[in-house]
Amino acid sequence: MKKQRIAVVGAGTAGLATATLLGRQGHAVTVIERANSLGAVGAGLLLQPSAISALSEMGCLEHMQQYGQRIDALFGWTRSGRAIMQVEYAHLGEKNDVFGLGVHRSALCHVLDTALETVPHDRWFGCEVSSIGQSDRDAVVAFRRDAEIHREAFDAVVIANGSASQLRPPALVRFDREYPWGAMWMIRPLTENLAALNRPHLQQKYDGSAVMVGALPTGCIPDADGTPMLSLFWSLPVSEISDWRAGRIDLALWKTQVIALWPELEPLISAIASPSELLPATYRDVIMSRWAQGRVGVIGDAAHAMSPQLGQGANMALLDATALASAVRQCENWDEVWGQYYRVRQGSIRFYQRMSRFLTPLFQSRMVGAARGRDLALPLSHRIPWVRRQMAETVAGRKQRWIL
Ligand SMILES: Cc1cc2nc3c(=O)[nH]c(=O)nc-3n(C[C@H](O)[C@H](O)[C@H](O)COP(=O)(O)OP(=O)(O)OC[C@H]3O[C@@H](n4cnc5c(N)ncnc54)[C@H](O)[C@@H]3O)c2cc1C
């Protein structure tokens, strides 16, 4: 395609990666972001091997490794110490070194933004996009800056403004709801007295399906002192989040409960002085029939938000960005671009949407039977090499369909 004027709405994982790749092709890219800057917001993300490959393809992997903590496996145990989740990337049986990275969201954004800085582009930060219209000739973005509404025309618009997007073309949205379960999280230095957690593993502990606590080594945060960090997640129904935020929980009782479930967390948990030290996270489940209409496309969480149980949010965003950039490079017009993008991404996106809908209630619900079934079936399945490998492929973010 000849040089296009492209607006990318949202400077998260999907937006920054897309803007970088399209900018490298010589397109005139404008990134429009509502925040004034890319701050150190959020907690840890697990970049799976699929994301590692995408970052490597973009030439960003070495930079990312400066901040990330290598992850080799995901383990989850019941209260009695029974291993329920045992997924190791080594089960993929590959000769190459396959690994994940625990990273802070701001470190990922910093690495992608550093790559974006090397290509010509415009960035309009502090601008909240309120609507996108289109005609045969162009797509018009309306955004608010300094309390005024501005309008700007582009050849195409890529919507990458996250799971709560209100910009998705309504006719394409099949399903959009908040998950009934979310999490409280905090991020703390990975100090010496937390040695049991300083392993290249995402670790979780469960008590039935209603109680889950997870810990992810998260590497270090840009512009901080280089201290390795740990992210801690406590699963809970969204209906209980307002009680946490208002300080209406029995903190002492909660601490006793968590330490009883996972004694190695004691130094971290006993230092919590107030419920407000944990921050809430909620998730959405979004299904779209297609991810584009005319000159407007949707990618990342805006297109297919799902629960973080399979840890695929940032991975899918990076895979979307590389697939979209390759379609733009190969196609002659936007209809062709979105057609190719759909063909390349739909298998993987549909698989992970279904899988996360199936798995989430096994880990976040009050379904006693679901937890019992999980505790029986998962340990057995780990003994079957083919199933073990399929689970590793799933977690690694590489599946395109149910049977490979
Ligand atoms: C503040 C924040 C913290 C997060 N923390 C975590 C975490 O700790 N762990 C985790 O697993 N996932 C976290 N996520 C989600 C995670 O970043 C995504 O799942 C994943 O990276 C896919 O990213 P995305 O680019 O599709 O969306 P996002 O990362 O959500 O990025 C969307 C971007 O769009 C911007 N935006 C939104 N609306 C508008 C608008 N109308 N106009 C202009 N810009 C807009 C947002 O400010 C944001 O920068 C967080 C997301 C955000 C926004």
Q: Are 157 and 296 in contact (CB under 8 A)?
A: yes
Q: Which residue has the higher pLDDT, 402 or 104?
A: 104
Ligand 1 contacts CB of residue 160 (under 6 A)? yes
pLDDT for residue 359: 87
**What are the helix (H) ranges across 191-333?**
241-245, 251-261, 266-270, 301-304, 313-330
Instruction: Give the H or E element holding residue 353.
Output: helix 334-363
Ligand 1 contacts CB of residue 13 (under 6 A)? yes
Instruction: State which amino acid sits at residue 35.
Output: A
Q: Which residues contact 242 (CB under 8 A, 6 or more apart)?
A: none
Fold for 5-178+283-395, please state it.
FAD/NAD(P)-binding domain (3.50.50)
Q: Which residues contact 113 (CB under 8 A, 6 or more apart)?
A: 11, 16, 38
Q: Are 396 and 49 in contact (CB under 8 A)?
A: yes
Residue 404 has pLDDT above 70, yes or no: no
Q: Which long-range contacts (CB under 8 A, 24 or more apart) does 401-404 make?
A: 401/347, 401/351, 402/351
Confidence class of residue 312 from pLDDT cuts 50, 70 and 90?
Answer: very high
Residue 223 has pLDDT above 90, yes or no: no
* Residue to mutate, 37, 50, 105, ligand 1, most ligand atoms under 8 Å from C-beta: 105
**Average pLDDT value for the chain:** 94
pLDDT for residue 85: 93
Structure confidence by residue, pLDDT tens digits, 77-92: 999 999 999 999 999 9
* Residue to mutate, 18, 20, 32, 33, ligand 1, most ligand atoms under 8 Å from C-beta: 33
Ligand 1 centroid vs 320 CA: distance in angstroms? 15
Ligand 1 contacts CB of residue 15 (under 6 A)? yes
Structure confidence by residue, pLDDT tens digits, 329-373: 999 999 999 999 999 999 999 999 999 988 888 888 888 888 889
Instruction: Please state the φ and ψ torsions of residue 304, each to the nearest 5 degrees.
Output: -155, 50
- Closest residue to atom 5 of ligand 1, CA basis: 42
The atom of ligand 1 lying closest to the CA of 14 is 25
Q: Classify burial at 193, counting beta carbons within 10 Å of its beta carbon; exposed 0-12, middle 13-18, buried 19 or more.
A: exposed
- Closest residue to atom 4 of ligand 1, CA basis: 42
Query: CA 240, CA 220: separation in Å to the nearest integer?
Result: 30
Ligand 1 centroid vs 96 CA: distance in angstroms? 31
Q: Which residues contact 380 (CB under 8 A, 6 or more apart)?
A: none
Structure confidence by residue, pLDDT tens digits, 269-283: 999 999 999 999 999
Structure confidence by residue, pLDDT tens digits, 362-380: 888 888 888 889 998 999 8
* Residue to mutate, 16, 18, 21, 34, ligand 1, most ligand atoms under 8 Å from C-beta: 34
Rounded average pLDDT over 180-205: 93
Q: Which of 226, 207, 204 lies closest to 215, judged by CA?
A: 204
Q: Over pLDDT 70: what percentage of the chain?
A: 100
100 sits in the region (left: phi over 0; alpha: psi -120 to 50; else beta) called beta
- Closest residue to atom 15 of ligand 1, CA basis: 313
pTM of the model: 0.95
DSSP-assigned letters across all residues of 173-215? EEEEEE-SEEEEEEEEE--GGGGGG-SSEEEEEEETTTEEEEE
Extents of the domains making up the chain: 5-178+283-395
N-to-C CA span, the chain: 34
pLDDT for residue 224: 84
